[in-house]
């Protein structure tokens, strides 16, 4: 009798790893009507999750206290999501669970994992007859609880086993849930990694917009809060712009004076996905200068003590932190600056997304993943950190032309870049005159200026390479590879 009762009570899915993201995703799944079993090595986390399930609506969630009971409490074919720290902890969790799993069961890793680790685990799982998915999850703890963007890649069969759950749990937008089967192998992790690289670029560009408005425009935090809130009602409408408006409004409760943002140490943390994105761009020979600039800026922010020393040394030499090389010495027109910065931020963001999409396309071609770039933009429209209203337009650009060479040359985006470039140049120019670093906006502008020019000074670089290394060059007027005895001819020319 007891066996029959247990059989009836089997969960539809399991989740192991109950830090905040794991707890929230498990509660989200339960709330959508799917009975779920949860497990964590530290048993207090299981109790905590059970307690929340009761408090948040008596949700169909059961806790298990060892891997065997956990696995056996799930209906076949079993699907288990793991949300533990990337690297060795994932391998340890898989080993503990796989011992009790059977051929046809599925493991889904929802962490930010390096895609090659996922590909190794797919092979290892398949030797035991297990299916495997590496699933990017974006949206932070709020997204996990209320609807994230999900990027599952790996076994298509595994995806089909839990498609009904993922489609209910994901964020919902007008054209469907923010989840799709990404592709084979580690494609889900790779797409999430590039999403995070774009996120680095986005955050950097927003911080530069803030820096210019504050230090060149003299805007207060309350003015900045109003500006970002207004921007969030237009073409820049996005999660990051929305939370930025909120940040400027938060008072410092510890001291009771001023806003909290001014009390935060200017040293940025990072987990590694941005670095991986830039490394992959270099491996694939894809220019991603905006994303690279954002990574460099995080490294530079880490040199807080060195920067403080440098400020003192340069001040001693007569250089103030606030430089003004404005030839007219004119004061800034605030209203115009605000509008210029809005346009510069928008154009710079397009470059950041274009670089991310190009990276996805190059990797897809290398690995045969057959990624659908329009669909990637669609699943990022809700739930995730880079969700933005213009992702719908990115989706449409790739629907119009799946072979689009670069987002910037889609007719709609090209028109917008041209309309905004004068404002963009004014902002970067003003920042340079004032000594305000804008590496992201500058990198985006240089990316645009390099891409739109039909002839670059690379001809001189090729001449230099041929001069010192006989690397040969091609000509514009006739086919073939050529080599010139440059030093001999240069000597002759001097005589």
Residues annotated as binding site for NADP(+)? 17-22, 40-42, 84-86, 112
Kind and range of the H or E element at 466? Answer: helix 458-469
The token pair at 220 is 């207060």
Separation between Cα atoms, residue 355 and residue 176, nearest integer Å: 26
- 353 in Cβ contact with 288 (< 8 Å): no
116 included as an active-site residue: no
CB atoms within 10 A of CB 284: 15
Bridge partners (DSSP) of residue 109 are: 82, 134
Q: Region of 411 please: left (phi>0), alpha (psi -120 to 50) or beta.
A: alpha
The token pair at 11 is 């969960």
- Tokens 């590694």 locate to 272
**Helical segments of 56-176, H only:** 67-72, 88-98, 115-127, 140-146, 156-169
β-bridge pairing 131-138 and 149-154: antiparallel
304 included as an active-site residue: no
Spell out a b/e string for 178-190, using b for 16 or more CB atoms within 10 Å of the CB, else e: bbbbbbbbbbbbb
In the set 45, 192, 349, 395, the catalytic residue is 192
Binding-site residue numbers are 17-22, 40-42, 84-86, 112, 138-140, 195-196, 200, 271, 298, 465, 471
* Residues 6+ away with beta carbon under 8 Å from 52: 23, 27
Q: Region of 450 please: left (phi>0), alpha (psi -120 to 50) or beta.
A: alpha
Binding-site residue numbers for substrate are 112, 138-140, 195-196, 200, 271, 298, 465, 471
Q: Is the dihedral of CA 301, 305, 309, 315 positive or negative?
A: positive
Bridge partners (DSSP) of residue 149 are: 138
Cα 407–Cα 410–Cα 413 angle in degrees, nearest 5: 80
Kind and range of the H or E element at 62? Answer: strand 61-64
In the set 113, 199, 208, 259, the catalytic residue is 199
Separation between Cα atoms, residue 419 and residue 422, nearest integer Å: 7
- 337 in Cβ contact with 331 (< 8 Å): no
Separation between Cα atoms, residue 361 and residue 370, nearest integer Å: 8
Catalytic residues: 192, 199
């Amino acid at each position: 009798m007891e066996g029959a009762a247990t059989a009836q009570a089997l969960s539809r899915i399991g989740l192991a790893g109950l830090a905040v993201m794991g707890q929230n995703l498990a509660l989200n799944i339960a709330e959508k009507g799917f009975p779920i079993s949860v497990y964590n090595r530290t048993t207090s986390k299981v109790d905590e999750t059970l307690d929340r399930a009761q408090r948040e609506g008596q949700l169909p969630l059961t806790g298990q206290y060892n891997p065997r009971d956990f696995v056996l409490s799930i209906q076949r074919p079993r699907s288990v999501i793991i949300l533990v720290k990337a690297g060795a902890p994932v391998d340890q969790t898989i080993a503990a669970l796989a011992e009790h799993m059977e051929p046809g069961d599925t493991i889904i890793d929802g962490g930010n994992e390096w895609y090659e680790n996922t590909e190794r685990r797919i092979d290892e799982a398949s030797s035991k007859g297990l299916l495997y998915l590496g699933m990017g999850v974006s949206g932070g703890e709020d997204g996990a609880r209320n609807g994230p963007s999900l990027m599952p890649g790996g076994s298509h069969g595994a995806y089909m086993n839990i498609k009904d759950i993922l489609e209910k749990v994901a964020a919902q937008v007008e054209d469907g849930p923010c989840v799709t089967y990404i592709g084979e192998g580690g494609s889900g992790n790779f797409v999430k990694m590039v999403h995070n690289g774009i996120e680095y670029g986005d955050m950097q560009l927003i911080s530069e917009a803030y820096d210019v408005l504050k230090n060149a425009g003299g805007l207060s935090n309350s003015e900045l809060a109003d500006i970002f809130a207004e921007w969030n009602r237009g073409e820049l409408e996005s999660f990051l712009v929305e939370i930025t408006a909120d940040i400027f409004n938060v008072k410092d409760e510890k001291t009771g004076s001023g806003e909290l943002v001014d009390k935060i140490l200017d040293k940025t943390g990072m987990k590694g996905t941005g670095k991986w994105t830039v490394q992959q761009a270099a491996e694939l020979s894809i220019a991603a200068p905006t994303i690279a600039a954002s990574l460099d800026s995080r490294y530079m922010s880490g040199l807080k003590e060195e920067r403080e020393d440098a400020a003192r040394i340069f001040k001693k030499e007569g250089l103030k932190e606030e430089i003004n090389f404005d030839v007219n010495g004119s004061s800034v027109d605030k209203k115009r600056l605000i509008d210029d910065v809005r346009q510069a931020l928008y154009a710079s963001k397009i470059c950041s997304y274009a670089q991310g999409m190009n990276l996805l396309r190059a990797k897809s071609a290398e690995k045969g993943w057959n990624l659908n770039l329009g669909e990637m933009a669609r699943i990022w429209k809700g739930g995730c950190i880079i969700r933005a209203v213009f992702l719908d337009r990115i989706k449409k650009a790739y629907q119009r032309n799946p072979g689009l060479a670069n987002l910037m040359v889609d007719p709609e985006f090209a028109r917008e870049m041209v309309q905004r470039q004068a404002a963009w140049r004014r902002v970067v120019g003003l920042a340079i005159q004032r000594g305000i670093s804008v590496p992201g906006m500058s990198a985006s502008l240089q990316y645009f200026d390099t891409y739109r020019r039909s002839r670059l000074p690379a001809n001189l670089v090729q001449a230099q390479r041929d001069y010192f290394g006989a690397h040969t060059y091609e000509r514009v007027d006739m086919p073939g590879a050529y080599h010139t005895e440059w030093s001999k001819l240069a000597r002759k020319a001097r005589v």
